Homo-oligomer: A and B are copies of this chain.
Amino acid sequence: MLQLSQEEAIKYNLNELADLIVSHYNLEQKLSEKLTLEEFLALISQATRNFIELVLGVNSDSLQQLFFNDPQILDLLPPNAQDQQIMQIFGMDKLRESMYYSLYSDGKMLRPALVFVGGLLTKAKLSDLLIAAMAIECIHTYSLIHDDLPAMDNDTYRRGKLTNHLVFGESMAILAGDALQTLGFSLLSSNQQLEAKQVLKQVQVLAYGAGHYGMCLGQALDILGDDLTLDKLKELGISQSKAELRLTQIHYRKTAFLIRSSILLGVYASNHAKGKDLERILSYWAYNLGLTFQIKDDILDVLGNEAEIGKPVGSDLVNHKLTYVSLYGLEQAQEKLNAKFVQTLEYVEQLENLFKENTEQEASLAITWLRDLTTFVVNRNK
């Protein structure tokens, strides 16, 4: 773990900090080696977590300088109190603490890993990928904080620790989520090395996946689903296959869209030549993986062990939600999972075909990790 004092940290801008992490973890070298999926995931999550620590683990003033180390911009800031004790009483650092609490986690960091897979396919610069990895993790984390709120799922634990609102209060949790969303866009747009055109594509694809076409719509459909129980749908004369359509809409929007954004954030970190074909294949892979992921979640929710999964077993059933298991039963849900898994792998094969002329070691390793990751999603126990 690379650690910098406040005084050291503010000497660097965002790109330089990312470069430090890339060399500290020897990422160039490591990512050209035949790592197992587990090793690959561990490496990316360590590097991303360390980067998060450097960026958000400092105090608010340092953070400001990190992003805006243009002296002219700092000169434009409204006067800050110099008196640290007063600033502490005033709570100047509370919001950042709340953001950091949730963002710095030992979660799986699948989305950052996908950013790297996408970027390895297009030979993107690794430090640019690190910035995008933190950006997508900001968006994912904000959605978790808001999802856990009393008005939403009212959850007590997340990733094995108390949910944000139980530690910092409900209003601070709302704001921490809000500010993490902004930070995601702030990170992307503060990348001074990548060409503006590419950064803009990143901002677009992130907004598309996160917004009211994507993740937010998925959450909204999920919430509305509290009133659309299986019984209610029957009462309305909605067939089983149409009820499934509703489930798939939730899962596509809530999960798959942001998975697509993750991998395309990596792709767009380079002015790649593969063009629309690559985007198309990765998009379909992402949509299918997202669905696979959610069917598996539904199954785990019933089967899972509370200690392992970190939330009460069967909470979806208690909340009377429509799930693959409640709709089809466990056995048929498992069959649907398997079918979806096969379909998802087909896109990995298409990807392989697209790259078959390619002799780059990095790209072929990335495809292997993508295949293993697809399998991992289906086989995981939590």
Interface residues of A (CB under 8 A from B): 60, 63-64, 67-68, 72, 75-76, 78, 80-81, 83, 86, 89-92, 94-96, 99, 142-143, 146, 149-152, 169-172, 174-175, 177-179, 181-183, 185-186, 188-190, 195-197, 199-200, 203-204, 206-208, 210-213, 216-217, 219-221, 223-224, 228, 236, 238, 242, 245-246, 248-249, 252-253, 256, 276, 279-280, 283-284, 287
Contacts and interface: CB of A to CB of B under 8 A. Distances in A.
Contacts of A224: 90-91, 94
A327 B26 CA distance: 56
Contact of A211 (B179, B195, B228): B179
B72 A280 contact: yes
Nearest to A75: B280
Contacts of A188: 203
Given A221-B92, A248-B78, A216 B179 contact: yes
A217 B95 contact: yes
A251 to B, nearest CB: 9
A182 B248 contact: no
Given A171-B223, A242-B81, A95 B186 contact: no
Contacts of A60: 212-213, 217
Given A151-B170, A242-B86, A203 B185 contact: yes
A196 B224 CA distance: 38
8 contacts: A63-B213, A72-B280, A81-B245, A86-B238, A91-B221, A149-B174, A182-B211, A200-B200
A198 to B, nearest CB: 9
Given A90-B221, A186-B207, A151 B171 contact: yes
Contact of A90 (B94, B183, B246): B246
B171 A152 contact: yes
Contacts of A242: 81, 83, 86
Contacts of A246: 90
A343 to B, nearest CB: 13
Contacts of A190: 204
A106 to B, nearest CB: 23
A91 to B, nearest CB: 4
Contact of A238 (B67, B89, B150, B287): B89
A73 B102 CA distance: 33
Contacts of A142: 178
Going nearest first, the 5 A-B pairs with the smallest beta carbon separation are A182-B211, A179-B212, A186-B207, A151-B170, A179-B216
A196 B185 contact: no
A76 B200 contact: no
A89 B234 CA distance: 12
B95 A216 contact: yes
A279 B220 contact: no
A174 B197 contact: no
B236 A212 contact: no
A217 B182 CA distance: 12
A276 B72 CA distance: 8
Given A91-B224, A91-B228, 12 more contacts: A72-B280, A76-B279, A78-B252, A81-B245, A91-B221, A92-B249, A179-B216, A181-B181, A186-B211, A189-B203, A196-B197, A199-B200
